[in-house]
Amino acid sequence: DTEVTQTPKHLVMGMTNKKSLKCEQHMGHRAMYWYKQKAKKPPELMFVYSYEKLSINESVPSRFSPECPNSSLLNLHLHALQPEDSALYLCASSQRGWDEQYFGPGTRLTVT
């Protein structure tokens, strides 16, 4: 199984809502990532988890809160987002920190 799954596929939320994005992989990868991608732009790294520990936070605002409950799951908790946070949120995983990354299909987030 070389698949990374993400739920939901689409999410519309108001600025006062709390929601969560979920990501799952069963490839035994020990590194997992959250990216934000705006239209016609490359992915921007947000967070890196290595062996279930947060190893990199790219100065992301605190309204985004990542969580790694176990080696297969990655969550991104959202609270009090702004309209400019609307984007495609991609999860990825890799076996080693420098190796190819396997991406999920993404969650299309719209903040109203």
Partner 1 sequence: AQSVTQLDSQVPVFEEAPVELRCNYSSSVSVYLFWYVQYPNQGLQLLLKYLSGSTLVESINGFEAEFNKSQTSFHLRKPSVHISDTAEYFCAVTSNSGGYQKVTFGTGTKLQVIP
- Toward partner 1, which CB reaches closer, 14 or 28? 28
3-state secondary structure of 110: strand
Residues in region 2-61 near partner 1 by CB under 8 A: 4, 6, 31, 40-43, 45, 48, 50, 55-56
Using the rule CB under 8 A, give the single segment among 11-19, 62-70, 77-85, 93-101 that binds partner 1. Answer: 93-101
Q: Which residue blocks in the chain are alpha helix, DSSP H?
A: none
Q: How many angstroms separate the first and last alpha carbons of the chain?
A: 36
Residue 8, preceding peptide bond in cis (omega within 30° of 0): yes
Residue ranges binding partner 1 (CB under 8 A): 4, 6, 31, 40-43, 45, 48, 50, 55-56, 90, 92, 97-106, 108
